[in-house]
Amino acid sequence: QVQLVESGGGSVQAGGSLRLSCTASRNTAVTSCIGWFRQAPGEEREGVAALYTSGGVTYYTDSVKGRFTISRDNAKNTVYLQMNSLKPEDTAMYYCATVGPFDPVPLWTQPSDFAYWGQGTQVTVFS
């Protein structure tokens, strides 16, 4: 079992930046993948970015490539999502998610592959 707590959301003007944090109750190094997802009202939850701990491989959905960066600080059990050049279409509730150490390696775009979720943090980008 692992608890995830997101923070760092807020309201920002288009073009601005936010850094989201996801702090886990245990060492993030023991999981195979940490992902960031977002869900706007009336939309499906979509994978935004993910970090696979073996090799540190990262993935991003096309709409955020070049603007968002996922990173981690194992000493703090925290994964970050740095979001720059924010656009109104980035407005959503953002969630981090992960799997247990013995769970199958998830497909980062598939929410159902992730067993543990944070409560979410709201990001609102206004023009």
Calculate the alpha carbon distances from 101 to 26, 36, 50, 94 in Å: 11, 18, 16, 23
The predicted structure's pLDDT at residue 29: 72
The predicted structure's pLDDT at residue 123: 98
Calculate the alpha carbon distances from 50 to 53, 54, 95 in Å: 10, 12, 12
Query: Chain centroid to CA 46: how far?
Result: 10
Q: What percent of the chain has pLDDT over 90?
A: 91
Is residue 6 a contact partner of residue 95, using CB atoms and an 8 Å limit?
yes
Calpha distance 96→35 (Å, rounded): 6
Q: What percent of the chain has pLDDT over 70?
A: 100
Q: pLDDT category, 80, cuts 50, 70, 90?
A: very high
